[in-house]
C-alpha cells in the first residue's frame, strides 16, 4: 500500500501509536509529514520528510499553525490522523474531579474536533476540492464498550467516533473519507503505566497477546491509502479480540 505523493499531519506523533503511524507512513513512501506533539519528536529528527511542531492540540491556534506550516512546506494536506490522547486517573465516576474531566475532554475530544475542523478546511481548499483526502481519528475499545474507572476517557473516545461518523456524512460528497480506529491494549508508554494489567489484558484478548503500535499503524496506512478508498464512517477495531466477549 502506497502513500506516494501524499502529505499527512499526525498528532501525538512523538510516541507510541502516533510514532508508529509516522514510521509506517514514511515506509509507505509518503512525501511529507507534520508531526504535532507537546513533546519533541526526537526519534524522527533526522528525516527531512518530517516537520516537527510542538504544541497543545486542544488549542485552536496550534491547528492553525500546523496546517499553515504544512501547506507552506509542501503545498498540500491529504491526510490527517488525530491521535494525541491522555487517559486521566482512575476513579469511580462520582469521585472524578471536574478539572480532570475537562482536561481529558480538552485533549481527546476538543483536540480531535479542532484537528478535524482544520483538516477538513485544508482538504476543501486543495486543488481537488478534497477528493482523495482522508481523516482518521484514534478512538479506543473504550469508545466501543467503555472501560470502568476511566469515565471521562470513555466519554471522549465515544465522542470522537461520533465526530468521524458525522464528518463522513457531511464530507463524503466531496470525496473526503473519515474513519475511526479503535485500538485494544497496545504496548506504548501510555499503557505501560499499568504493568499490573498486562497479564489480564493478554488473557482477555482472543489472540492472547498485546498489540504493538505497528498493528494500529498498518490499519492507518490501509485507511489512508487507495486500498481503503471505499471506507468512510467505518470503525476499525484492532484489538486482538479483547472485545470479543
- Ramachandran category for residue 71: left, alpha or beta (phi over 0 → left; psi -120 to 50 → alpha): alpha
Nearer to ligand NAD, 83 or 232 (CB): 83
In angstroms, the CA 7 to CA 31 distance is 6
Q: Minimum Å distance from CB 6 to ligand NAD?
A: 22
66 in catalytic set: no
In this structure, how many other beta carbons lie within 10 angstroms of the beta carbon of residue 170? Answer: 12
Tell me if 38 contacts ligand NAD by CB under 6 A: yes
Which of 77, 79, 80, 84 touches ligand NAD (CB under 6 A)? 84
Tell me if 78 contacts ligand NAD by CB under 6 A: no
Q: C-alpha angle 183/158/234, rounded to 5°?
A: 60
Q: What is the torsional sign of CA 70, 84, 157, 189?
A: positive
Q: What is the torsional sign of CA 11, 14, 17, 21?
A: positive
Which of 10, 50, 186, 217 touches ligand NAD (CB under 6 A)? 186
Tell me if 140 contacts ligand NAD by CB under 6 A: yes
Residues 25 and 18 sit within 8 Å (Cβ to Cβ): no
Q: Minimum Å distance from CB 111 to ligand NAD?
A: 6
Q: Minimum Å distance from CB 58 to ligand NAD?
A: 5
Tell me if 66 contacts ligand NAD by CB under 6 A: no
**DSSP symbol at 31:** S
Q: Minimum Å distance from CB 121 to ligand NAD?
A: 20
Which of 191, 225, 232, 234 touches ligand NAD (CB under 6 A)? 191
Tell me if 14 contacts ligand NAD by CB under 6 A: yes
Amino acid at each position: 500500500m502506497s502513500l506516494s505523493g501524499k502529505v499527512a499531519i499526525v498528532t501525538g506523533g512523538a510516541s507510541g501509536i502516533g510514532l508508529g503511524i509516522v514510521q509506517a507512513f514514511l515506509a509507505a513512501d509518503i512525501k511529507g509529514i507534520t508531526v504535532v506533539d507537546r513533546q519533541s519528536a526526537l526519534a524522527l529528527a533526522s528525516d527531512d520528510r518530517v516537520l516537527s511542531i510542538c504544541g497543545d492540540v486542544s488549542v485552536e491556534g496550534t491547528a492553525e499553525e500546523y496546517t499553515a506550516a504544512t501547506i507552506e512546506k509542501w503545498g498540500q494536506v491529504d491526510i490527517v490522523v488525530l491521535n494525541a490522547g491522555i487517559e486521566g486517573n482512575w476513579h469511580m465516576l462520582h469521585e472524578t474531579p471536574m478539572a480532570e474531566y475537562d482536561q481529558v475532554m480538552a485533549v481527546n475530544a476538543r483536540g480531535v474536533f479542532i484537528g478535524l475542523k482544520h483538516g477538513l478546511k485544508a482538504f476543501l481548499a486543495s486543488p481537488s476540492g478534497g477528493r482523495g483526502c482522508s481523516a482518521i481519528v484514534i478512538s479506543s475499545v473504550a469508545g466501543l464498550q467503555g472501560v470502568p474507572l476511566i469515565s471521562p476517557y470513555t466519554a471522549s473516545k465515544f465522542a470522537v467516533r461520533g465526530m468521524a461518523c458525522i464528518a463522513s456524512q457531511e464530507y463524503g460528497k466531496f470525496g473526503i473519507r473519515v474513519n475511526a480506529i479503535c485500538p485494544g491494549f497496545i504496548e506504548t508508554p501510555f499503557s505501560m503505566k499499568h504493568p499490573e494489567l498486562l497479564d489480564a489484558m493478554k488473557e482477555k484478548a482472543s489472540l492472547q497477546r498485546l498489540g504493538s503500535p505497528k498493528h494500529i499503524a498498518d490499519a492507518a496506512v490501509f485507511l489512508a491509502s487507495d486500498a481503503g478508498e471505499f471506507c468512510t464512517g467505518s470503525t476499525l477495531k484492532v484489538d486482538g479480540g479483547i472485545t470479543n466477549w
